Structure 1
Amino acid sequence: MFLEHLIEQILPTLIAAIDLIGILVVVVTVVRAFGAYLHNLFSREQYDIKLRLADGLATGLEFKMAAEILKTVLVRELNELFILGAVILLRALLSLLIHWEMKGESAAAHREQKL
């Protein structure tokens, strides 16, 4: 009883903190990628923006998925569990697509280096 009450009190704050970390990772990644994009426009050096952006988005998404998984502890109704499951599934699919894109970009970069 005490442990359940403690979890119900602490977990929402913990979930919000993990969600915020995920959001911050995405925002910082986007700002850095935009800075690299501007640098690419005005200099001869070229940074691989797509790979960096995809990596940061995947990392941010992992934090968001961790928060969603923790939310399953607080679920009280079956309907909430279905919604939460759908959100987790969509985020997992997004994560897989981002990793697939990163793998393709990495392979393309290796081919370009060999040429």
Structure 2
Amino acid sequence: MYEILENAFHTIVMYSCLLLEGIGIAIILYMAIRSLVLLIRGRKGVGMGLAKGIALALEFLLGGEVLHTIIAEDLQQLLVVGIIVVLRVTLTVLIHWEIKTEKAEEKEA
């Protein structure tokens, strides 16, 4: 009985990870295509929209990585997931900083 529940839990977490990562990838692709179209049309502020989309996508990807920590089977897997989380958090912070800086520059102009 315990093995059945453990397998079910593992399966649910794996599919949840895939779902969150898929949403993150979809957001990145959508925002990249949208930004390219806006860039071709000559619109301003394209970079800001793309940065916001990437930041949102990273939140979903980070959620998937956090779920991966639940099912990590050994210390090496946990370490790899931890490194990925640190990298994604760093990227998210940098992107939010860039957005904040760009907004401040727009207010000054």
TM-score range, shorter chain: over 0.9
- Distance apart, 1:10 and its partner CA: 1.4
1:18 to 17, 20, 28: 20
1:108 is matched with 105
Q: Aligned pair count?
A: 107
What are the equivalent positions in structure 2 for 1:1-115 lying under 5 Å apart? Answer: 1=2, 2-40=4-42, 46-112=43-109
Does structure 2 retain, via aligned residues, the 8 Å contact 1:50–1:105?
A: no
For structure 1, the 5+ residue unaligned runs are: 41-45
Structure 1 segments, 4+ long, off by >6 Å, are: none
| TM-score, scaled relative to structure 1 | 0.88
| TM-score, scaled relative to structure 2 | 0.93
Deviation track 1:65-103 (CA, whole Å, cap 9, x = no partner) reads 000000011101011111110000000000000000000
- Distance apart, 1:111 and its partner CA: 1.0
Partner Cα separation in structure 2 for residue 34 and residue 61 of structure 1: 20
For structure 2, the 5+ residue unaligned runs are: none
Partner Cα separation in structure 1 for residue 100 and residue 17 of structure 2: 30
RMSD: 1.1
Identity among equivalent pairs (%): 29
Bigger Cα Rg: 1
